A = this chain, B = another copy of it.
Amino acid sequence: MKELVSTPRTRLRRYAKRASYDQETIYSIIDRALVCHVGFIVDNVPRVIPTLHVRVGDHIYLHGAAANHMLRTATAGGEICVTITHIDGIVLARSAFYHSINYRSVVVIGRARIVEPERKLEVLRALVEHVVPGRWSGVRKPSPEELAATLVVELPLTEASAKIRTGGPSDEADDYSLPHWAGVIPLRLESGPAIADDKLDPAVALPSHVSEYRVPDARHHGEAKDTK
C-alpha cells in the first residue's frame, strides 16, 4: 500500500477515521468520476469550476480552449485544488442531527503545468477513452489546428487525500427505540438510452460503445470494492 504525501493541507482534521492517503483508494475515486471541481484564485477570491478529467499514471489531466481562463490562471504559478466527489447515498438516522451522506471524495493540491504539444494527443485520447471507452476509434481525430486550439494541463498526484463515508446511520443509544425509520437511500449517477443526433445518417448503426455505455463508476461495479 503506497501512501501519498499527507500535509496539513490535505490531512483531515475532522472524522479522521474517514480519511485515506492510500494511493490505490485515491486513484480509484479519481478514475470512477467523469467530472472534477477545480479551485483557483483570481484577485484573492476563489473560483470553483467543474470540468472533465482523466488520470494517466501519477498525474491528473484537464483540458480546454487555448484561451481558457481557468486553465491559464491555474498554470500561472499558484497552487490549485482539484476535488472529485461521488455521492453514494443519503443516510437517514433516527435523529435529524445524525443524518449524513455516504460519499467518496478526493482533494488534490498542487501546481499545474501546461503539457507539451507533442503529448497532447495521447492525453486527449486517454480522456475520450475514459469518458466513453471505445470511442476514440469511432471519431475523426483532432487536426493539427484543433490540437493547437486545445490547452492540456497536468497536475501531479503527490499531495492528496481521500475521504469516504459508507454504511448505515449511527444513532445515540437512547434513540434506537424511537419509532423512526432509519437506513440508507442509495444514490448513483446513471446513464440512459442514447439519443441520436437529428442529423445522423440513418445508415450509421449504433455502436456498442454507445449502446452498452456505462459511467466509470458503474463500469467498475463488478470489481472488488476498494473504497471501503
Chain A residues packing against B (C-beta within 8 Å): 9, 13-14, 34-35, 37-50, 52, 65, 67-69, 78-83, 85, 87, 90, 92-97, 99, 101, 103, 105, 107, 109, 124-125, 128, 131-132, 135-136, 138-143, 146, 149-150, 168-169, 175-201, 203-207, 210, 213, 215
Contact = CB atoms under 8 A, between A and B. Distances in A.
Nearest to A214: B185
Contact of A37 (B37, B92, B149): B37
Given A180-B139, A200-B181, A132 B92 contact: yes
B39 A39 contact: yes
Q: Is the interface of A mostly helix, strand, loop or mixed?
A: mixed
A150 to B, nearest CB: 7
Given A14-B67, A124-B96, A46 B35 contact: no
A125 B196 CA distance: 43
B44 A41 contact: yes
